[in-house]
Amino acid sequence: MSARFSVTWTERERSLALWLCLTLFVARVMGQIEVVLLAPSWLPPFRAWESGLIPYSVLLPTQILLIAWMAIVATDQWRGSGYFWVTQQKTRRCLKIIAGIYFSVMLLRLVIIGLRAPHTLLERGLIPVIAHWALAAFIYLTAAPSSEGRVIV
């Protein structure tokens, strides 16, 4: 017999959680911009904000487009209708699987960067991992509405 973790949320709570995920991602992007432009001493250096896989000149416009898309999705979830309001079980299941894989890959990334020396975990990429977890949570929450108007997580 297996134990199953279950939390029931209202649609309003789920929508607020989506907006929180979006806010976390926006904070990461804004922090990264501030570090590039002003390099304040109270924020970690630029290398802590990026993984280095995508040049920043490509990454920033991509992040801005992603923020716009996330705002549209979150708005559809808030309203309970629209193009990005997921209604099909198969789509929900696929999105939940994608979110789970995404979260797991970022966990593996965190473990790998945690094993590298000599810098701190923050300097090696903790900020991007947290931002990716916010994106994975956003995908999962987008797929979570139930037909009864309650969300089962």
Question: Angle, nearest 10°, between helix axes 11-37 and 127-143?
Answer: 150
- pLDDT for 37-96, tens place per residue? 999 999 999 988 887 788 999 999 999 999 999 999 999 988 888 898 888 899 999 999
pLDDT, tens only, 5-51? 555 678 888 889 999 999 999 999 999 999 999 999 999 999 888 87
pTM confidence score: 0.85
| Structural domain spans, the chain | 8-152
- The residue whose two tokens read 């716009």 is 68
At residue 1 the predicted structure's pLDDT band, cuts being 50, 70 and 90, is very low
Question: Residues 27, 30, 31, 36: what is their CA dihedral angle, to the nearest 10 degrees?
Answer: 160
Read off the pLDDT of residues 96-150 as tens digits, 9 standing for 90 and up.
999 999 999 999 999 988 887 767 778 778 899 999 999 999 999 999 865 444 4
What's the first-to-final CA gap in the chain, in angstroms? 19
